[in-house]
């Protein structure tokens, strides 16, 4: 077992990782497939040909990203240099569950294991499917695999009867199912670089196991709350939180003003309607209502003690979300956790 405290309420979340989760095809100006050695400037037509899946991080890696941020915060020496571009970390699967999910495994462990398996079972011929566009500067993206995952497994014949019984309870169990003993994850250095250089900045304080806490909250709501928050997707809530913290540039204010298109581009791209070279959001008021509901959800998480360590999280008290029809900006109010570490 690793010597790593698993009860810390916060992680320092790297801004490169957050920006990667919020990447958008329309933001790409230049792209590189050789780690920045050569660059290709994209036309509008070429931008439109970029697959949305090349920017799909939140739907694939949320638990793993939370766990890597936790390790990099509380014991960065566990991340070993593999080569010029990747760090590597090998841990028993129980340890991965601990650092990625904390004590919120009941509603999350199966999702997390499926997250690992989706990425870890990739065949070499499928490698291109897992290339992602990662922003390194404004408008500049590189195409690369952000994570590479491998497993050490036990066959059914090697399992203790009690282990086999647990394995058989999985919905996906069949005669070829194996139990994962260890997972080895190679993480692109660019994603967690702020922890390993002497420059200040590059991270913000975030609740540890954020994705697990969001799912836990959704799964344990009272019936009236379930009805109220129906329609709030976990990944929308995650992206909204990350976006807010990336745009909060001061400890002296309790609100941010953000452009409607920029917000939707990164948090809710389905809300954008394109008409030739013009873009608009479908309904600014419905979006405001959804943001307000999300603010209420984060306040519910606060009452459960799940927002400890957050640099900033949305609130409805004393104010929530406002929209200026002249500037087409949302004004979003937030609170700060009293135990958040000082931002660098």
**Which of 127, 162, 196 delimits the end of a domain?**
196
Quote the pLDDT of residue 123. Answer: 42
**Which of 181, 196, 211 delimits the end of a domain?**
196
What interhelical angle do 284-303 and 210-219 show, nearest 10? 90
48 and 147 inside one domain: yes
Reported as a pLDDT band with limits 50, 70 and 90, residue 282 is very high
Q: What is the pTM of this model?
A: 0.86
185 and 247 inside one domain: no
pLDDT at 229 over 60: yes
Reported as a pLDDT band with limits 50, 70 and 90, residue 54 is low
Q: For residue range 245-279, list pLDDT tens digits in order.
A: 999 977 678 899 999 999 998 999 889 898 777 78
Among 66-70, 188-192, 314-318, where is mean pLDDT lowest?
314-318
Most confident of 51-60, 140-149, 179-188, 233-242: 233-242
38 and 105 inside one domain: yes
Q: For residue range 167-202, list pLDDT tens digits in order.
A: 555 555 455 555 578 889 999 998 998 887 766 678
147 and 228 inside one domain: no
Residue 60 lies in a domain: yes
Q: For residue range 3-37, list pLDDT tens digits in order.
A: 677 788 999 999 999 988 888 777 788 888 777 78
Residue range 74-100: mean pLDDT, rounded: 92
186 and 228 inside one domain: no
Residue range 229-244: mean pLDDT, rounded: 95
Domain count, the chain: 2
177 and 231 inside one domain: no
Contact 198, 60 (CB under 8 A): no
121 and 268 inside one domain: no
191 and 305 inside one domain: no
164 and 248 inside one domain: no
Domain ranges, residue 174: 10-196
Quote the pLDDT of residue 205. Answer: 93
Query: Can you give the three-state secondary structure of 136-185, one letter per residue?
Result: EECCEEEEECCEEEEEEEECHHHCCHHHHHHHHCCCCCCCCCCEEEEEEE
Q: CA-CA distance, 197 to 216, in Å (whole number)?
A: 35
């Amino acid at each position: 077992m690793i010597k790593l405290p698993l009860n810390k309420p916060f992680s320092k979340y790297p801004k490169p990782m957050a920006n990667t989760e919020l990447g958008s095809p329309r933001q790409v100006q230049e792209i590189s497939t050789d780690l920045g050695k050569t660059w290709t400037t994209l036309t509008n037509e070429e931008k439109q040909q970029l697959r949305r899946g090349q920017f799909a991080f939140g739907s694939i890696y949320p638990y793993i990203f939370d766990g890597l941020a936790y390790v990099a915060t509380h014991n960065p020496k566990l991340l070993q240099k593999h080569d010029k571009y990747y760090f590597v970390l090998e841990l028993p699967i129980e340890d991965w569950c601990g650092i990625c999910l904390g004590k919120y495994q009941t509603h999350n462990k199966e999702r997390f294991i499926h997250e690992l398996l989706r990425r870890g079972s990739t065949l070499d011929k499928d490698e291109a499917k897992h290339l992602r566009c990662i922003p390194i500067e404004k408008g500049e993206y590189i195409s690369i695999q952000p994570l590479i995952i491998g497993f050490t497994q036990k066959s059914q014949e090697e399992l203790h009867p009690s282990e086999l019984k647990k394995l058989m309870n999985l919905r996906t169990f069949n005669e070829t199912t194996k139990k994962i003993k260890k997972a080895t994850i190679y993480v692109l250095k660019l994603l967690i670089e702020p922890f390993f250089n002497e420059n200040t900045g590059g991270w913000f304080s975030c609740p540890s196991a954020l994705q697990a806490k969001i799912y836990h909250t959704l799964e344990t709501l009272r019936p009236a709350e379930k009805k109220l928050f129906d329609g709030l997707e976990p990944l929308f809530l995650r992206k909204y939180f990350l976006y807010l913290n990336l745009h909060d540039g001061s400890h002296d204010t309790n609100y941010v003003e953000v452009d409607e298109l920029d917000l939707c581009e990164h948090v809710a791209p389905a809300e954008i309607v394109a008409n030739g070279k013009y873009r608009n959001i479908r309904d600014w008021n419905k979006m405001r209502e959804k943001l307000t509901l999300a603010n209420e959800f984060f306040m519910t998480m606060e009452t459960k003690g799940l927002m400890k360590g957050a640099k900033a999280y949305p609130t409805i008290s004393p104010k929530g979300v406002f929209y200026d029809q002249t500037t087409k900006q949302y004004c979003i109010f937030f609170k700060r956790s009293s135990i958040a570490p000082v931002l660098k």
